[in-house]
Amino acid sequence: MARFKDLRDYLGLLKTLGDVESIDFSVSPILEAAAFTRRSTEQRRPAPLFENVEGASPGFRLLGAAGALSSIPDHPLARVALSLGLPHDISARDLVEHMVKANQAPPIPPKVVDSATAPCKQNILLGPDATLDRFPVPMVHPADGARYVNTWGVIVAKTPDGRWTNWSISRVMMLDGRHMTGLVLPQQHIGMVWKEWAELGQPMPYAIVLGGDPGVTMIGGMPVPDNVDEVALLGAIYGEPVEVVKCETVDLHVPAGAEIVIEGYVSPKRDATEGPYAEFHGWALDETSPEPIFSIEAITYRDNPIWPLSATGRPADDSQVGPAIGVSAELTALLQSAGLPVNVAWLLVDTACTWMIVTVRRDWRNALPGIETSELVHRIGTTMSTNRVGRMCPVTYVFDDDIDPSNTSDVLWALGTRVHPNLRKEQWQVEILPWYLCYTEEERHSGHGSIVVHDGLLPPMTSASPRHATFDTLYPAEIRERVLAAE
């Protein structure tokens, strides 16, 4: 199917599928819109579109949960799939396979279009007029440090030498109408790019892209390898270039169909306090950190702009879903390229992206004759331990491919019937990411801990092997047909 070039066409199709809920009564951007959004994600309701936002200029809107799990029955990944130009009813495995192929395809650089035709240039605010005061900047959680400008948008930045343009999601907090601060972690790409500018003692040009092509935010949340331009990878996913336009005040290009673009410079020093903020792991912590200041030089926006909002918290919401797809695709490609008989790797969103479920072909022994399950699991764990994306998975379970790794019910059944309580597991000491709360505080601060891989593989199949006891596997076809016809 054709991909969406802006947020409005995407919302139009979601509406036809019953996955958008327009809220016409007045809603405050201070906690209320986020509370509606949080309730929406927890109840798997349609995405809320707030048409009447208190304190905002007339026509300005808020959109919650644009990339969360869908309310469409049997198609939880519909919003993700549609964002990436794929059918809404695609399976998790087919979605990952598409991403694997795109990662292996030649990148497609963006296409620069004229500012006069770019929707994001319909309104331009410069200098003192470029203030956040007219926009519905949301307060997301009661204990947050302030209102958050960026919860579901992409920060565009490039290295001083221009070799790498990075698109990434990182939270950004409002300080006042023309200043913000946000997480610039050394382990993340925005931190790597900012470090190069800071070492020169120069402010880093940036642009924050809010709304627009829904695939932009999806790719911004995925763990793309270092020095890879997300915009070119997104072009490979689409099979066509992403249209971009030059910023007004900085030497950067942004998606032409964006709803809102904020431009300016990031200070070379950590001279502000950011946080606290309730994050994707599902915990509201009191942590703050010293971070640089984002100064605003320009804001451009479409008529009647839509400001996207992610109300992060316990899974599953936008903050886990998009990254999970990216990690799953990259790890699937890694394990398959290592010659391992892996069907798919799926980062289980329900666990706040801490459990990786790897399924292998049921006939894997034909490809690896004489190999025990422990050896196959050892090879999988070793491969993961030596790669950045593999080290992002604290716990991995390896199962046969008779289960759907994206189906939590399937996974729980396999965990209960195939994983030994304390045997058939192996661990590796690796560098870890600091935001996984399953690790001790000492491990998170040191950046070192272990990943564990569990062997949940079944013994070789024989005529006496047990079968799944389900409606589809137990009963003759004619009986199943009569039951289904009576529904």
Going from the N-terminus, what domains does the chain have, and what CATH number goes with each?
A: 91-307 (2.30.110.10), 338-455 (3.40.1670.10)
Q: Looking at per-residue confidence, does 2 or 304 come out higher?
A: 304
Question: In the predicted model, what is the mean pLDDT of residues 446-450?
Answer: 94
pLDDT value for 204: 98
Asked whether 57 and 134 are in contact (CB, 8 A), the reply is: yes
Split at pLDDT 50, 70, 90, the class of 217 is very high
pLDDT score recorded for residue 283? 84
Active site members: 279
Residue type, 429: Q
pLDDT at 285 > cutoff 90: no
**Cis peptide bond N-terminal to 316, omega within 30:** yes
Three-state DSSP state, 419? coil
CA distance to 306, 434, 484, per residue, from 5 (Å): 15, 35, 40
CA distance 354 to 432: 12
Contact, 184 vs 190, CB < 8 A? Answer: yes
Structure confidence at residue 279 (pLDDT): 87
Distance CA 382, CA 353 (A): 20
Residue pair 269/292 in contact (Cβ under 8 Å)? The answer is: yes
| pLDDT confidence band for 10 (50 / 70 / 90) | very high
**CA nearest to 333, candidates 233, 259, 260, 263:** 233
Mean pLDDT, range 380-387, rounded to an integer: 97
Number of H helices, E strands in the chain: 14, 23
> pLDDT for 236-267, tens place per residue?
999 999 999 999 999 999 999 999 999 999 99
SS3 196: helix
> Among residues 92, 88, 181, 177, which one has the least CA distance to residue 137?
177
Q: Tokens 């560098």 — which residue?
A: 431
CA dist 136 to 59, 61, 163, 281, 484, Å?
11, 7, 35, 26, 49
At residue 157, what is the residue type?
Answer: A
**Cβ neighbourhood burial of 163 (10 Å; 0-12, 13-18, 19+):** exposed
Centroid of chain to Cα 401 = 25
**Contact (CB, 8 A) for 156 and 49:** no
> Beta strands 306-309 and 61-64: pairing type?
parallel
Give the whole-angstrom CA distance, residue 322 versus residue 176. Answer: 30
Select the more confidently predicted residue: 247 or 461: 247
Is it the case that residue 59 has pLDDT exceeding 70?
yes
Residues of the chain above pLDDT 90, percent:
90
What pLDDT does residue 434 have?
A: 81
Residue 464 has pLDDT above 80, yes or no: no
Whether 71 contacts 298, CB under 8 Å:
no
Residue 357, phi then psi, degrees to nearest 5? -105, 115
294 bridge partner residues? 180, 266
pLDDT value at residue 461: 80
Q: What is the dihedral of CA 233, 236, 242, 247, to 10 degrees?
A: 20
Query: What phi and psi, each to the nearest 5 degrees, are found at residue 448?
Result: -135, 135
Is 433 a residue whose pLDDT tops 90? no
Mean pLDDT computed over 290-302 = 98
* pLDDT recorded at residue 282: 83
pLDDT by residue (tens digit) across 308-331?
999 999 998 888 998 899 999 999
Answer yes or no: is pLDDT of 286 > 70.
yes
pTM of the model: 0.92
**Helices 92-104, 230-238: inter-axial angle, 10-degree rounding:** 120
Cα–Cα distance, 101 to 329 (Å, whole number): 9
pLDDT tens digits, 102-112: 989 999 999 99
Amino acid 1: pLDDT: 62
- Examine the pLDDT at 178 and tell me if it is beyond 80: yes
